[in-house]
Structure 1
Amino acid sequence: MSVPGMDRAGADATSWVPDGIDLERPSAARLYDYLLGGAHNFAHDRELAERFIKAQPNAREIARHNRSFLRRSVLMLVERGVRQFLDLGSGIPTVGNVHEIAQTADPTSRVVYVDYEEVAYAHSTLMLADNPLATIVQADLTRPQDILDAPQTRELLDFDQPIGLLMAGVFHFVPPEKDPAALVARYRDAIAPGSYLAFSQFTRDLMPAEMDRVVEVMKSSRDPMYPRSLAEITALFAGFDLEEPGVVPTALWRPDLGFDDGGDPNRAGIYAGVGRKR
């Protein structure tokens, strides 16, 4: 997607930016966009991203593998009969968004994106303007009721039918004091049996020295990071039956080698898993 006045060469032409955005403080959504090769980021985001890459030289590969996990998990859920998705922390629109994946597989698929970051919301709104089966809610995922009760959510999703609940590469921004287990449980309790949770997040178990450096780098952003262990991430699937192969490095979660989804699992940086609600 391109936006007038903004391209890779002129990403600082900011006349299109919604009022009130603090361009001086970098955001994780815009950093991720940069790592994926997107153009919806600003000078301070790119500066942070380069520090991130210095701390974790495998950063672009990690971002690509996480994006590939999202694609594979959505396609699996469509194969299982899921036709509606709630994507928390959806980020800035890039190629391979959930609605593109799901609606290519079945045009009746419905998607509600959720992000609190202003640029992610603004671009998603533009991108989805002509798509009646996809929308975005600007909200903080740590406030579940704001999302679950949002008019856009209730209009598009049927909570009596299975939903694909997506938390891909976002939960490492949830601090311990927000009670991560209770947050996941609140969303779990709102969705019907037969729904799925697709989840991924950074961990210290893989490349711990690099992860420690990344945590330090991200302290200067609006989105500090809180990596979790395999045991901590697995515990978040309480009430879900984990699908094979369980919680594993992204490179090992049902890789599709035709899409170059393989890689060294010890360099994945992120654990991923999918569970079905009992």
Structure 2
Amino acid sequence: MKEVTRENAAALIRAVHLLAGQGHTQFADLGGGRPMNRLNDDNLPDLATVAEAEQPARQWLLLDSDVSAVTAGRALLGGEGVAVVQQDLRHLPGVMAALHGHLDMSRPVVVILGAVLHFLTMPEAQLLLDALWAELASGSVVVVTHLTGEGADPDTVQAGAKAYRTLHGIDIYPRTRQEITGLAARFDLRPPGVVQTIEYEPPDAGPAPVPGPHFLMWVAERS
């Protein structure tokens, strides 16, 4: 599973690099977790650093409910153009207030929901995406990676979710391709559509797709 998690992070890096290169300067990493500043085993850069390399004047909002993630974010990402806010994605007024408080919502924003929607129930995830659709300006982009159990034995997936809940005290909801695609319903999917993270803007050389439970990914635009 470590390889799958790494590829999820690498796919998000590729997406941010691509979107910043296309001219996007405002980013909101919702549920972004703890920045590592290359202190992780894989020596991967933080997404904010990737965007800054392409757009030095980028504006970056990191939002997470976990106090340790927020503390690390303020320590490692602090600086001009960066805001770090503690907020639960289920509290939509607080999420929208953070977006409006730190970004110019009259202009396009790239919203990153990396490996986080599977911690929300389907109604909670849909409400969040509906709220984003209502608040985002035309030309904004939403990037989603989501755990799926498709292609794996259902009993194994269910057992994995139960074990995760026992270990971490948090419910997790692996979903089907159809369900993950449905979350993008109000947005316009960009090519290549809903794919495994390994398939999104793949580098010239890299590891083969990892079998079993994995992450699916989509990038979609607010028209």
Q: Does TM-score exceed 0.5, indicating one fold?
A: yes
Amino acid at match of 2:26: Q
Displacement of 1:265 in angstroms is: 5.3
Preserved contact between residue 206 and residue 269 of structure 1 (Cα < 8 Å): no
1:138 aligns with 2:86: yes
- Within-5 A mapping of 1:1-278: 59-94=1-36, 95=38, 96-129=45-78, 131-150=79-98, 153-176=99-122, 178-208=123-153, 210-220=156-166, 221-258=168-205, 260=206, 262-264=207-209, 266-267=211-212, 269-278=214-223
Deviation at 1:248, TM superposition (A): 0.9
DSSP 3-state at the match of 1:61:
helix
Q: TM-score scaled by structure 1?
A: 0.72
More contact order relative to length (CA 8 Å, sep ≥ 6): 2
Mapped partners of 1:108, 1:144: distance in 2: 28
CA distance in 2, matches of 1:183, 1:93: 23
Q: Does the residue aligned with 1:180 lie in a helix, a strand or coil?
A: helix
Q: What is the rounded CA distance, in whole Å, between the counterparts of 1:110 and 1:265 in structure 2?
A: 34
Offset at 1:172? Answer: 0.6
Deviation beyond 6 Å, 4+ runs, structure 1: none
Aligned-residue identity in percent: 25
Alignment gaps of 5+ in structure 1: 1-58
Relative distance call for 1:132 and 1:244 in structure 2 (3 A) is: same
- Given residue 95 of structure 2, which amino acid in structure 1 is its aligned partner? I
Alpha-carbon RMSD: 1.7
Letter in 1 for 2:188: D
The CA deviation string for residues 24-76 of structure 1, in whole angstroms up to 9 with x for no partner, is xxxxxxxxxxxxxxxxxxxxxxxxxxxxxxxxxxx110110100111011112
Counterpart of 1:275, as a letter, is: A
Change (3 A) 1:272 1:224: same
Q: Give the whole-Å Cα distance in 1 for the aligned partners of 2:100 and 2:25.
A: 15
* Contact kept? 2:190, 2:221, Cα under 8 Å: yes
Report the TM-score, using the length of structure 2 for normalisation.
0.89
CA contact (8 A) 1:197 1:276 kept: yes
Letter in 2 for 1:68: A
Residues 268 and 105 of structure 1, relative CA distance in 2, 3 Å threshold: farther
AA of the residue aligned to 2:199:
L
Deviation, 1:144, is 2.0
Residues 231-258 of structure 1 show CA distances to partners (whole Å, capped at 9, x for unaligned) of 1111111222111111011111121135
Q: What secondary structure, in the 3-state scheme, does the structure 2 residue paired with 1:212 have?
A: helix
What is the CA–CA distance in structure 2 between the aligned matches of 1:65 and 1:266, rounded to whole Å?
Answer: 13
Question: Does structure 2 retain, via aligned residues, the 8 Å contact 1:206–1:270?
Answer: no
Whichever residue aligns with residue 113 of structure 1, its letter is L
Instruction: Tell me, in whole angstroms, the C-alpha distance in 1 between the residues paired with 2:20 and 2:77.
Output: 20
Q: Distance in 1 between matches of 2:180 and 2:64?
A: 22
* Structure with the higher strand share, 1 or 2: 2
What do residues 129-159 of structure 1 show as CA deviations (whole Å, max 9, x unaligned)?
A: 3x11112110001112202213xx4343110
Partner Cα distance (1:256, 1:103) in 2:
21
How many residue pairs align between the two structures?
Answer: 214
